[in-house]
Amino acid sequence: MSDMRTLGEFIVEKQHECPSVSGELSSLLSSIRLAAKIVNREINKAGLVDIIGASGNENAQGEQQQKLDVYANEKFKAAMAARDQVCGVGSEEDDDVVIFSEKHGPNAKYVILIDPLDGSSNIDVNVSVGTIFSIYRRVSPLGQLATMEDFLQPGNKQVAAGYIIYGSSTMLVYTTGNGVHGFTYDPSIGVFFLSHENITILNKGSIYSINEGNYITFPKGIKQYLKYCQENKPEDNRPYTSRYIGSLVADFHRNMLKGGIYLYPSTATYPSGKLRLLYECNPMSFIMEQAGGKASDGKQRILDIKPIALHQRVPFFVGTTDMVKKIEEFLERNSD
């Protein structure tokens, strides 16, 4: 139940926990909040206006873009460009980063990486989708244009990260490294109210989320782990429940609140994994660790991976700590 504190009020109240960004973070999240409201409005009109379906273009990974992908991408980039704190944006939908060269750009302190509309193909069938964002302090000198080095930072350098889930209600969830907090949107007055303060994931999970349709292409360790999940072991809280929506934000959000693990391993089709390190895995890993969970590529902590490419993909396992440790055990046991 909301305690009627708004997102803006809560950020100001918690500024002392992150003095290095203080009012700047409030401004950044304010721009994300505004873009989220605009995108939420369009999503809620899907089916009534010509905003669903494929756009006819492909994104940087050769995937078919949906019309709402393009719309959300432009709205979030425009919101970032309007702020004095952002020197550049990297988007999953663009081939390259966008460097802001006008006015404040060279003197802005932060870069933002964003997946404007995760799970957008689900829009057509009225399934929850989301926006994922990640904020870093630039490492290049102030007064100059941002460089690729500013964007290719490991996830442990994130200043803040979050997501917006557009579902039965619209929620904005974020962390600055001091816990995870969720805000639910009241469309009648256009305000995000605090509804989930200090979210923590359960110590024992009972849900696993994976596209089992790809089973035949999974590594041996993943196949064995799925059998483990399905074993009848009541004393060990098994069998686990299989829940897979096919929208990362929705699956992640449910598992963080209910206790579980999300898995997107390497496959024969995607030997390096399918999810993007910078736009999806890093921000979600930061959030999950702050909620008391764990995130791994099967061998190492996601947040310690040094990116080498803007659209780099990695295997991704995130959720309840014990469940992620168990999948690492299965993968190590079958590493040859």
280 known member of a binding site: yes
211 known member of a binding site: yes
Nearest CA to 303 among 324, 292, 288, 321? 288
92 known member of a binding site: yes
| Residues facing 172 on adjacent strands | 164, 183
Q: How far apart are CA 235 and CA 205, in angstroms?
A: 13
115 known member of a binding site: yes
Contacts of 156 (CB under 8 A, 6+ apart): 303, 304
57 known member of a binding site: no
263 known member of a binding site: yes
118 known member of a binding site: yes
272 known member of a binding site: no
Burial of 269 (0-12, 13-18, 19+ CB in 10 A): exposed
Q: Tally the residues of the chain.
A: 336
212 known member of a binding site: no
119 known member of a binding site: yes
Contacts of 216 (CB under 8 A, 6+ apart): none
DSSP string, 240-252: PEE---S-HHHHH
Q: How far apart are CA 165 and CA 314, in angstroms?
A: 23
Tokens of 129: 């989708």
Tokens of 37: 């409201």
Contact in structure between 267 and 218 (CB atoms under 8 Å) = yes
262 known member of a binding site: yes
Tokens 């302190």, residue? 109
Nearest CA to 252 among 316, 193, 305, 204? 316
| Chain center to CA of 194 | 19
29 known member of a binding site: no
Contacts of 162 (CB under 8 A, 6+ apart): 29, 32, 132, 133, 172, 173, 174, 175, 283, 287
Q: How many helices (H) and strands (E) does the chain have?
A: 8, 15
Q: How far apart are CA 326 and CA 332, in angstroms?
A: 10
Q: How far apart are CA 259 and CA 318, in angstroms?
A: 11
Tokens of 302: 């996601």
Binding residues: 92, 115, 117-121, 211, 244, 262-264, 274, 280
Binding site for substrate, by residue number, is: 118-121, 211, 244, 262-264, 274
Annotated binding site for Mg(2+): 92, 115, 117-118, 280
